[in-house]
């Protein structure tokens, strides 16, 4: 609202006598009060209740009291600050409210605008300017410049009705706009608009919905297979006991698959639940990797794969969750065993580096001709000392287009290879979440027909100098 309008509205309200004191009415009240008191005194005098002296004294006291009240209650005699209760058409406080709000609006960490009822944006903070890509030096500018008719209409409603509103709109991303009148109760006034980006919320909602759909799909497949075999064994193959062995084998396999899937889903949800709580215990990483590797030896032997472990003699400690780190190594190594060539070999290597950046190179940038992808950027600073683990195999490798998607839940490359190898598609997603909890990184490099290497790295503890001199 501009100054002229405010002034004219103030003048109008004065004419209507809404909030300026009315002098003739005050004078009339004064006269009625004084004459009333004198009349009462006269009545008392006439009935003999009081004498002439009392009548005169009473009349003087009453009229002096009324006069003192009349003069003392005059509006221009009022001392102290202006009353805080403002009337709707009081122009100055509205302008003051806008001026007072401006610093808050500019300091808000969300895009925010102040819009007049005439649709002029008087204040737009930097976030709002960036959101709408506006570069207007002069103020105010018309809200129509934002090219959002819904916003325009809503701002108009809020300015006029004084009621809060929330609307959703899409500019470059999905946002929600919260709008409020700067002085609720005023008929017409400026409106504040604060924009909240909903992209992350919407993405999380979609991811959750996709996850549920994928998980139920993955469970439905083995269940349908088992159901189908039961039907066959009850119906057409009822008396074919020889065929039953084959059916029971497949049913046992499908049951195993469901058990693995449920176990992986449970670990994933447990890890997600604790992802924001940093681990607290000190873990000796080389020892842990050696033991995990040893536990996998029988599985490798069964698959006809040679499993090698290599790590430093000295201890490398980190603040970690030992079960989770063991699960990372186990997931990567069991994948390597699964995907290595027949009679091939898998290596589990562990080492330490002076910085996270060096560790990333040591575990995931070793082969010049490899295609690679970083599946998780570490949250920790690149300069802190780090420990890394690299798991390599000599399998078919993974083609370049699949690399960035590894670590997504249920993403399986071998589905395109004809689904020859069993898996849930959750192993690498689990690794990714565990490494996120450890503020570490996760990367892959692969050469088709030569092999694949997965690397993880995370902050380690500095060596105790006194221990090194011993
Ligand atoms: P899965 O249970 O299917 O192995 P993962 O999440 O562990 O699930 O792996 C996802 C996909 O990544 C696998 O289906 C496979 O296609 C591919 N993959 C993982 N590790 C390797 C590897 N060492 N060599 C080749 N492909 C791999």
The reported pTM is 0.65
Looking at residue 415, its pLDDT comes to 59
Give which of 80, 84, 152 is closest to 115, Cα–Cα. 152
Q: How far is the CA of 300 from the centre of ligand 1 (A)?
A: 16
Looking at residue 457, its pLDDT comes to 98
Looking at residue 301, its pLDDT comes to 95
Please give the number of the atom of ligand 1 that sits closest to the Cα of 395: 24
- Nearest-CA residue for atom 2 of ligand 1: 423
Q: How far is the CA of 412 from the centre of ligand 1 (A)?
A: 6
Q: Which residues contact 15 (CB under 8 A, 6 or more apart)?
A: none
Contact 151/169 with Cβ under 8 angstroms?
Answer: yes
Give which of 351, 454, 327, 465 is closest to 393, Cα–Cα. 454
Please give the number of the atom of ligand 1 that sits closest to the Cα of 331: 7
**Ligand 1 pocket at CB < 6 A:** 331, 335-336, 339, 393, 395, 398, 406, 411-414, 423-429, 452
- Long-range (24+ apart) CB contacts under 8 A made by 180-185 are 182/94, 182/97, 182/98, 182/101, 182/114, 183/86, 183/93, 183/94, 183/97, 185/88
The bridge status of strand 191-197 relative to strand 174-181 is antiparallel
* Separation between Cα atoms, residue 191 and residue 185, nearest integer Å: 12
Query: Exposure pattern of 165-204 as b/e (b: 16+ CB <10 Å)?
Result: bebeeebeebbebebbbbbeebebbbbbbbbebeeeeeee
- Nearest-CA residue for atom 17 of ligand 1: 413
Q: How far is the CA of 330 from the centre of ligand 1 (A)?
A: 13
The helix (run of H) or strand (run of E) holding residue 453 is strand 451-459
Q: DSSP class of residue 75?
A: G
Q: Which two tokens mark 75?
A: 């509006």
Q: How far is the CA of 266 from the centre of ligand 1 (A)?
A: 19
Query: Exposure pattern of 296-324 as b/e (b: 16+ CB <10 Å)?
Result: beeebeebebebebebeeeebbbbbbbeb
Residue 396, SS3 per DSSP: coil
Q: DSSP class of residue 369?
A: T
Looking at residue 289, its pLDDT comes to 97
Q: Which two tokens mark 365?
A: 């940038």
Q: What is the DSSP annotation of 129-155? A: HHHHT----SS-EEGGGG--HHHHHHH
Looking at residue 285, its pLDDT comes to 97
Residue 423, SS3 per DSSP: coil
Looking at residue 23, its pLDDT comes to 58
* Separation between Cα atoms, residue 322 and residue 167, nearest integer Å: 48
Looking at residue 7, its pLDDT comes to 41
Positive or negative: CA dihedral 112, 118, 119, 120: negative
* Separation between Cα atoms, residue 357 and residue 359, nearest integer Å: 5
**Roughly how many angstroms between the first and final C-alpha of the chain, as a whole number?**
79
Ligand 1 pocket mutation pick from 296, 334, 335 by most atoms within 8 angstroms of CB: 335
Q: How far is the CA of 395 from the centre of ligand 1 (A)?
A: 11
Q: Which two tokens mark 169?
A: 């709109």
* Sites in the chain below the pLDDT cut of 50: 1-21, 76-92, 416, 468-470
Looking at residue 75, its pLDDT comes to 54
Q: How far is the CA of 308 from the centre of ligand 1 (A)?
A: 20
């Amino acid at each position: 609202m501009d100054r002229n309008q405010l002034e004219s509205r103030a003048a109008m309200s004065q004419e209507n006598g809404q909030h300026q004191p009315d002098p003739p009415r005050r004078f009339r009240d004064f006269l009625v009060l004084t004459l009333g008191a004198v009349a009462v005194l006269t009545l008392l005098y006439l009935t003999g209740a009081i004498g002439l002296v009392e009548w005169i004294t009473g009349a003087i006291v009453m009229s002096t009291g009324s006069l003192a009240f009349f003069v003392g209650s005059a509006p221009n005699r009022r001392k102290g600050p202006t009353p805080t209760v403002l009337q709707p058409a009081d122009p100055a406080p509205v302008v003051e409210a806008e001026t007072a709000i401006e610093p808050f609006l500019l300091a808000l960490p969300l895009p925010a605008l102040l819009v007049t009822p005439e649709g002029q944006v008087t204040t737009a903070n930097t976030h709002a300017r960036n959101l709408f890509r506006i570069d207007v030096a002069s103020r105010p500018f018309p809200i129509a410049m934002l090219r959002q008719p819904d916003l325009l209409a809503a701002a108009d409603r809020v300015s006029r009705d004084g009621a809060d509103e929330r609307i959703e709109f899409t500019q470059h991303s999905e946002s929600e706009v919260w709008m409020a009148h700067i002085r609720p109760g005023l008929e017409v006034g400026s409106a504040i608009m604060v924009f909240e980006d909903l992209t992350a919320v919407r993405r999380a909602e979609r991811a959750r919905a996709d996850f549920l759909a994928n998980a139920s799909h993955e469970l439905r497949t083995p269940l349908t297979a088992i159901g189908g075999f039961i039907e066959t064994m009850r119906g057409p193959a009822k008396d074919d006991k020889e065929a039953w062995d084959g059916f029971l084998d497949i049913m046992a396999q499908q049951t195993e698959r469901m058990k693995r899937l449920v176990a992986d889903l449970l670990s994933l949800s447990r890890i997600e639940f604790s992802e924001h709580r940093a681990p607290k215990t000190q873990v000796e990483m080389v020892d842990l990797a050696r033991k995990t590797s040893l536990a996998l030896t029988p599985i490798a032997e069964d698959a006809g794969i040679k499993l090698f472990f290599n790590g430093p003699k000295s201890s490398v400690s980190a603040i970690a969750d030992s079960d989770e780190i063991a699960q990372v190594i186990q997931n990567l190594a069991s994948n390597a065993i699964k995907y290595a060539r027949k009679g091939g070999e898998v290596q589990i290597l562990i080492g330490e580096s002076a910085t996270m950046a060096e560790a990333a190179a040591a575990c995931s940038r070793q082969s010049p001709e490899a295609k690679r992808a970083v599946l998780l950027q570490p949250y920790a600073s690149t300069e802190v000392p780090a420990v890394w683990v690299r798991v390599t195999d000599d399998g078919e490798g993974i083609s370049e287009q699949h690399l960035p998607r590894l670590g997504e839940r249920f993403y399986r490359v071998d589905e395109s290879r004809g689904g020859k190898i069993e898996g849930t598609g959750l192993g690498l997603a689990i690794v990714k979440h565990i490494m996120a909890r450890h503020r570490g990184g996760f990367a892959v490099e692969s050469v088709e027909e030569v092999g694949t290497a997965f690397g993880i790295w995370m902050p380690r503890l500095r060596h105790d100098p006194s221990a090194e001199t011993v």
